[in-house]
Amino acid sequence: MTQLPLEFGFAPSFAAADYLVSRCNENAFAWVERWPLWPGPALAVCGPPGCGKTHLAHVWQARSNAAFIDASQLATADPAQLLQLAGSCVVDSIAGATFDSSVERALLHLYNMVVERRGQLMLCAEAPPARWPVKLADLRSRVSAAAVVTIEPPDDGLLETLLAKLFADRQLAVDRGTIIYIVTRMERSFDAARRLVDAIDRAAMAAHRRPSLGLVREVLERSAG
């Protein structure tokens, strides 16, 4: 009989100590290290889904005491309430579909407030600001002047390190050969690594088996199907 695993609500860590630096993200991390000596008030961090933009933003937030704002909040909230007493802020999950007139006005207001407070603004999106469908001229000129850094999809070495850490966090003993097997067959993103480790953990608990190569192969085949 297969036993259903209990839901423990395992949450990802956004701590600085858990941000793994490799060739794909070292330039972006260098900008965080360089803060507050940025050449202008805004930095756009770009890259595909799951590349670690949000984690990097949390690392910078912890250093700068910035407010953390999801782009979906801009449509309905007062920018002053979102920023509160903070001098700097992160706006995360910016997408092309985010923009309408109310969002553009809110983002412009937020940008101006940050500048007035002599703070900085980190904008996280898949595409650079030059490709955002911004119609408001004042906002377009401001975001287009932002410095831009791109995070690339993780390389094999980083994925191996990340998987080893994710397994260790769950106290799962998985040998390097099995990790390499996973890396050569998985979607190349941080989010995919987390989802896969979660699926392997659940499968191992449900079947009362250790996370062997055979079990890992079964999980990968199910996820591919």
Mean pLDDT of 2-29: 66
Residue 155 CA to residue 22 CA, distance in Å, equals 8
- List pLDDT tens digits, range 40-52: 999 999 998 888 8
Domain ranges of the chain: 25-150, 154-224
For residue 82, the surrounding DSSP H or E stretch is: helix 79-83
Residue 41 CA to residue 146 CA, distance in Å, equals 7
8 pLDDT band, cuts 50/70/90, is very low
**Backbone dihedral angles phi then psi of residue 185, each to the nearest 5 degrees:** -125, -5
Cβ atoms of 139 and 111 within 8 Å: the answer is: yes
7 pLDDT band, cuts 50/70/90, is very low
Q: Is 106 left (phi over 0), alpha (psi -120 to 50) or beta?
A: alpha
Annotate 24-60 with DSSP letters as a single string: TTHHHHHHHHHTT--SSSEEEEE--TTSSHHHHHHHH
Domains 25-150 and 154-224 belong to one CATH topology: no
The answer to whether residue 162 scores a pLDDT higher than 60 is yes
- List pLDDT tens digits, range 64-97: 999 999 999 998 989 999 999 999 999 999 998 7
Q: What is the mean pLDDT of the chain?
A: 90
CATH number for 25-150 (one of 3.40.50.300, 3.20.20.70, 3.40.30.10, 3.30.300.30): it is 3.40.50.300
In which order are the strands placed within the sheet that holds 147-150? 67-70, 89-94, 121-125, 42-46, 147-150
Q: What class has domain 154-224? A: mainly alpha
- List pLDDT tens digits, range 186-212: 998 888 998 999 999 999 999 988 899
